[in-house]
Amino acid sequence: MELKPCPKCQSKPKLCANSYHRKTSYGYVCSNPKCVLSFACVGYSDQEEALDDWNKKVEWEELLQSWSERLHPCDCGGKAKLVFEQYGRAKFWFVRCDDCQKLLTPSESIDAIIESWNRRNASGINL
């Protein structure tokens, strides 16, 4: 399986291996230290699982970029982007402006967060 480049900066990913109690876990991060994907890799018991996870992150980021096309620009004129976070079983959608970094309060629904961003932005309410 081919390792895809970082979806944020197109840098080559690097393999991280951590050993703890005679067990090694593997994961991939972006090799660019300034990239947001350059830290916090998920550990897997083998390199193939780690590679598969990295490629899924790339595909997921491509989907987020595509879905972000539905968002109106920020009131500052910047490009708004969808962000997805998962904490255990809890899943949250956010909208963040690339320029001014405004962040909309999270929602558990992608449609609800898009509607909320577009409605609040269109009405001139400061996010």
Q: Pick 95 or 8 by higher pLDDT.
A: 95
Mean model confidence pLDDT for the chain: 86
Percent of the chain past pLDDT 70, that is, above it, reads 89
Q: How far apart are CA 53 and CA 39, in angstroms?
A: 14
Task: Using pLDDT thresholds of 50, 70 and 90, give the confidence band for residue 121.
Answer: low
**Backbone φ/ψ region at 97: left (φ over 0), alpha (ψ -120 to 50), beta:** beta
Q: Does the pLDDT at position 114 exceed 60?
A: yes
Where exactly are the structural domains of the chain?
13-58, 71-122
Q: Pick 124 or 118 by higher pLDDT.
A: 118
**How many angstroms from the chain centroid is the CA of residue 85?**
7
What is the mean predicted confidence (pLDDT) over 58-82? Answer: 92
Task: Using pLDDT thresholds of 50, 70 and 90, give the confidence band for residue 120.
Answer: confident
Q: Could you tell me where the DSSP H helices lie in the chain? A: 47-67, 110-122
Q: Does the pLDDT at position 91 exceed 50?
A: yes
User: What's the pLDDT score for residue 127?
Assistant: 45
Collect all residues with Cβ–Cβ distance below 8 Å to 61 and sequence separation of at least 6: 7, 8
pLDDT in tens, 20-53: 788 888 888 889 998 877 776 667 788 898 899 8
